[in-house]
Amino acid sequence: GEDVEQSLFLSVREGDSSVINCTYTDSSSTYLYWYKQEPGAGLQLLTYIFSNMDMKQDQRLTVLLNKKDKHLSLRIADTQTGDSAIYFCAERNDYKLSFGAGTTVTVRA
Amino acid sequence: KAGVTQTPRYLIKTRGQQVTLSCSPISGHRSVSWYQQTPGQGLQFLFEYFSETQRNKGNFPGRFSGRQFSNSRSEMNVSTLELGDSALYLCASSPGEGGTEAFFGQGTRLTVV
């Protein structure tokens, strides 16, 4: 199967950490991705992780992968107003990306 | 280094017409994939092109077609437009076939009336 599931909404206070969760079903997925989409824009690749890794950190972003539970998370440290957007989790199945429905993150002052 | 360029950004077409969308990948990238984004279905894979050949196709009717040129630029065509074809069409560029990193353009917003 190629289902990727994410919670639809997350509200976070400016300066706090955000954690966006995702579950996927295809155990053969080689890479897992996080993309950001701002209103009226395309998808911005934030980060990705190879399926044999547990964690990847890139500045304010930390990706955790639990392959046994097929669970992926993205933590954004010190969340800023510019982080308000829709975040998509995606898995690579061979030649294509399968996306979740997206999590809308709202940063409140 | 220029990113992925999609033209036009916005299009309004009438039912029954056809439309052609263009995508210029990042310089040096040879793989182009197309995705359709709608509120109801989310992001869905349309097709992938590499070295001027369609390598893979998603579950879309034959009205959706595309091609890739020798300079890696790609076009997709939708014939006999339906209202349900209204969507954001996104193009992704990768260095190689099924590349690890896929970089997306800003998309073309197609509205069918």
Distance CA A5, CA B1 (A): 34
Q: Which residue has the tokens 């989790």?
A: A89
Give the residue numbers in B contacting A (CB under 8 Å), as ranges: 4, 6, 33, 35, 42-43, 45, 48, 55-56, 58, 90, 92, 97-98, 100-107
- Residue A82, classed as helix, strand or coil, is helix
Q: Tell me which chain B residues have a C-beta less than 8 angstroms from the C-beta of A31.
A: 100
Contact list in B for residue A101 (CB cut-off 8 A) is 42
* C-alpha–C-alpha distance, residues B110 and B87, integer Å: 5
The closest alpha carbon to A89, from A31, A22, A43, A28, belongs to: A22
* pLDDT, average across residues B4-25: 98
pLDDT of residue B1: 62
Looking at residues B72-89, what average pLDDT do you find?
98
Mean pLDDT of B1-5: 85
- Averaged pLDDT of chain B: 95
Q: Are B102 and B33 in contact (CB under 8 A)?
A: yes
pLDDT at A2: 55
Instruction: Give residue for tokens 């879309």.
Output: B60
Collapse the DSSP code of B69 into the 3-class scheme (helix H, G, I; strand E, B; otherwise coil) and give the result. coil
Using the predicted structure, report yes or no on whether residue B98 has a pLDDT greater than 70. no
**Is it the case that residue B52 has pLDDT exceeding 80?**
yes
Residue with the bigger pLDDT between B96 and B58: it is: B58
- Average pLDDT on B26-44 reads 95
The mean pLDDT value for B38-59 works out to: 94
CA distance A83 to A88: 13
| Cβ neighbours around A8 below 10 Å, total | 10
Residues B12 and B79: beta-carbon distance below 8 Å: no
Closest by CA position to B21, among listed B64, B75, B67: B75
Nearest residue, CB atoms, B106 vs list A41, A88, A94: A41
Q: Find chain B residues with C-beta within 8 A of A94's C-beta.
A: 56, 98
Beta carbons within 10 angstroms of residue A29's beta carbon: 22
Q: Are B17 and B78 in contact (CB under 8 A)?
A: no
Distance between CA atoms of A58 and A62, rounded to whole angstroms?
6
Task: Name the minimum distance, in Å, from the CA of A29 to any CA of chain B.
Answer: 12
- Angstroms from B62 CA to nearest CA on chain A: 19
Q: pLDDT tens for chain A, 109 residues: list them.
A: 458 999 999 999 999 999 999 999 887 888 999 999 999 899 999 999 998 999 999 999 999 999 999 999 999 999 999 999 999 999 988 788 999 999 999 999 9
